[in-house]
Chain A
C-alpha cells in the first residue's frame, strides 16, 4: 500500500528571551510599520496615470473634482485601504492555520479555504442571482467555514504531515475549481463576471466594499491577535498544552472562526489570492522566532506590505494594462514555496 514517512516534529521551542531581544523585536515592528507606510504611499502615488507627488498630496486631503484629485481620492486610496485589510487578513489567517495544524505549509489559498469561499460565491452569483457584495460575503463565509473544517478534520487533531495536508488541500481546490469551471460553462452571463473575480484583484475597490468587509476583517484580526497565547501553548503538542491548562477545543474553534472571518471577507472582496498566508508567516518567524505573540503582530503589518507591493508591481509591469494582484502573488509565491520545499528539513518529510 502507498505509505508515507514518519511524522515531522513541530517547530523548535524558543530559548528564554532576554530583555534585549524584546527591545529588538519591538524596534523591528516599528521599522515594519514604517515600511508599510512607505508602501502605502507608493500604492497611492503609482498607477496607470503618472502624476507628480504634489498632486497626490493635494488629492489626499482635498477633493476638488479635478482629474487627479478624483483618481487619488476615489480610486487609489480605497484600493490601498482594501489592500491593507485583505493583506492583513490573509497573512494572519496563514499564521493561525500554521500554528493550529502545526504544519509549515498550511495556508488558506493552498489548503482550499479561498477556493471554498470562491465556489460558494460563484454558486450565489449563478444560481441565486446574488449581485451585491453584501450578499457575497455570507456565502464566502459559508464556503470558507466548510472547507476550513474539512481541512482541519483531515489535518488537524492527529497531525498530518505537511505533504498530506498540502495534497488534501490541493485536491479539494482542484475539485472546487472544476466545479467553478462547470458553472461558468453553463452560464455564459455569469462567466463574464466570474472570470475577473476569480483572479484575485484589488481593482474594483471602493469605499462601499471597504465599509462592508472592514467590520468582519476587524473582528477577525482582533480575535486572531487575542489567540496568540493559547496558540503558543497548542504548538507544544496537545498533551503539553493540556498540561499547561490550555482549552484545546475552545482555541481550535475560535481559531477556525478567525480563519473563516478573515478568509471569507478577503475572498468576497477581491477573489481568491494565494500564498500571502504562506510566505509572510515564514518570513516573520525567521525574524521573531516561534513566539505567536510576536508573529501575529508582525504578520498583521508585513502581509499588507507584500500584497500592496505585489499590487504596485502588477500595475507597473504591464502598463497601461494591469496584472491582477492574485497573479503576481502566485508568481512570487510559487518559487518561495518551492524553495521552502527544497530546504533540507522539508526535503526529508
Chain B
C-alpha cells in the first residue's frame, strides 16, 4: 500500500502508512481485549461485560474493589512496562542497526539489576528503594557505555560491543551479590531478577505513567531523524539530521525507559528484543516502527502475564519466566532466519 502524506495548512506534514496504521489499531484493540480478560480472571472471576461496566463506574461495590484496587493497577503496570521496554528496544535496535542490539543484551538491563540487587542484598531495602536502585543502576550503566563507546562519535557497532563487555562484567557482579546474600535475600533477588507483576499497585503506576507521558512524545519527535540514522551516519548528516544529538537524546530516553520499566517489574526478558522485530513483520514498514513496537510490547506482556497466571493450573509463575521461554524460542528462530537472509 502506498504511503500517504497528510499536510496541514501550517506546513506540518505527517506521513501515514495505511498498513502500519491498521496494524497499530488492531494491536491496540487486541491489547485492550487482553486487558479486559486479564482484569476479569482470577480467584474471583468477572465477566468481560461486568469488567467494562465496572471500569465505567457501574459495578457493584465488590467488583469496584477488586477491579480498581487489585487488578487494574497490575494490568496498567503490565501495559506501561511492556510499552516502555518495547520502545526502548526499538530505539536501540535502530541506533545500533542490528535486530539483536537491544538494551537487555547490551548491558542496561544488567545495570538496572545490579542497582536493585545491591539494594536487596547490601541494604535490605524496601520496594521503593529497590526501584530507585534499578533506575540509578540503569542510568549509570547507560552513561558508562556511552562514554566508553565514544570515539569521535558513537558508532552503532562499537556501542553494541562495548555494551556486551559491560554486560558480562555486570553479570559477574550480579552473581557475586547472589552468593553474598542469605538464602532469603537470594530467593527474593532471584524472584526480582525473573521479572514479575505480582502485587503491583497504584504506587508503581504513577511513576511509570509520569515517565511515559514525558518520554514517549519526545521519542516520536525524534522519530524522523532516527529513521535517517538507519541509513548510516554519513547519509543522515547529508540529509540534515542532527546525528549526534539525536543519538544522545534517544539513548538517554531509551535508558530511562528500560530503567523505569525494570524498576517497576524487574528485568523482564526479551520483550525489548522481540516486540520491535514482531512489529516490523506485522507492519512490513521500514524504519524504527515506534508506534507499532510500543503497542506490540504492551500486548506481548499482557498475553505473557495471562499465560503465566492461568496456563499452569494452580501454579502461578512470574511473567518473566514466560517471556524468557517464549523469547528464547523466538530468538533461535530469529537467529536462524536472519542468518539465512544474511542480516545478522
Using CB atoms and an 8 Å cutoff, list the residues of chain A in contact with chain B. Answer: 1-5, 105, 109-110, 150, 153-154, 160, 162-164, 166-168, 170-172, 174-179, 181-182, 184-186, 188, 191-192, 195-196, 198-200, 274-275, 323-324, 326-327, 330-331, 333-335, 337-338, 341-342, 346-347, 349
Contact = CB atoms under 8 A, between A and B. Distances in A.
B172 A188 contact: no
5 contacts: A4-B97, A178-B320, A324-B179, A338-B166, A346-B161
B344 A160 contact: yes
Given A163-B160, A191-B187, A330 B230 contact: no
A181 B176 contact: no
Contact of B168 (A162, A191, A274, A323): A274
Interface stretch (B99-107, B132-140, B202-210): B99-107
Nearest to B150: A342
B168 A333 contact: yes
B220 interface: no
Contact of A275 (B158, B168, B318, B335): B168
A164 B327 CA distance: 19
Given A2-B97, A5-B157, A179 B328 contact: yes
A188 B186 CA distance: 10
Interface string B158-183: 10111011111101110110110001
B59 interface: no
B331 A171 contact: yes
B253 to A, nearest CB: 20
Contacts of B190: 181, 184-185, 191, 195
Contact of B193 (A164, A181, A323): A181
Which residue among B98, B99, B164 has the maximum number of chain A CB atoms within 10 Å of its CB?
B164
Contact of B105 (A164, A171, A186): A171
B150 to A, nearest CB: 10
Contacts of B327: 175, 178
A349 B269 CA distance: 28
A175 B100 contact: no
A170 B105 contact: yes
B153 to A, nearest CB: 10
A4 B344 contact: yes
B151 interface: yes
Contacts of A1: 286, 343
B341 to A, nearest CB: 9
Contacts of B101: 167
Please provide the 10 A-B residue pairs with the shortest distance between their CB atoms, ordered closest to farther: A330-B172, A334-B169, A178-B324, A175-B328, A337-B165, A341-B161, A167-B100, A338-B165, A182-B321, A199-B175
Contacts, number: 173
B259 interface: no
Contact of A182 (B164, B165, B179, B325): B325
Given A1-B343, A109-B168, A324-B176, 13 more contacts: A2-B97, A5-B157, A163-B160, A167-B344, A182-B321, A185-B190, A185-B321, A199-B179, A274-B168, A324-B175, A326-B172, A341-B161, A342-B162
A274 B158 CA distance: 20
A172 to B, nearest CB: 7
B169 A330 contact: yes
B83 interface: no
A171 B335 contact: yes
Which residue among B105, B179, B317 has the maximum number of chain A CB atoms within 10 Å of its CB?
B179
B98 A4 contact: yes
Contacts of B160: 163, 166-167
Given A330-B171, A333-B168, A334-B168, A178 B328 contact: yes
Interface of B: 93-94, 97-101, 104-105, 148, 151, 155, 157-158, 160-162, 164-169, 171-173, 175-176, 178-179, 183, 186-187, 190-191, 193-194, 230, 269-270, 273, 286, 317-318, 320-321, 324-325, 327-328, 331-332, 335, 339, 343-344
B172 A174 contact: no
A257 B186 CA distance: 37
B235 to A, nearest CB: 12
A2 B99 contact: yes
Nearest to B329: A175
Contact of A181 (B98, B99, B194, B344): B194
Contacts of A162: 161
Contact of A191 (B155, B186, B317): B186
Contact of A168 (B100, B230, B320): B100
B157 A334 contact: no
B110 to A, nearest CB: 9
Contact of A154 (B164, B179, B286, B339): B339
A210 to B, nearest CB: 23
B343 A3 contact: yes
Nearest to A158: B342
A176 B332 CA distance: 11
Contacts of B151: 342, 347
B318 A185 contact: yes
Contacts of A172: 331, 335
A179 B325 contact: yes
Contacts of B187: 188, 191
Contact of B164 (A3, A166, A186, A326): A166
B152 to A, nearest CB: 10
Nearest to B161: A341
Nearest to A330: B172
A326 B175 contact: yes
Nearest to B269: A178
A4 B190 CA distance: 36
B93 A2 contact: yes
Given A178-B327, A341-B161, A2 B168 contact: no
A199 B178 CA distance: 9
A337 B270 CA distance: 25
A148 to B, nearest CB: 14
A199 B175 CA distance: 6
Nearest to A329: B172
A248 B203 CA distance: 61
A109 B168 CA distance: 9
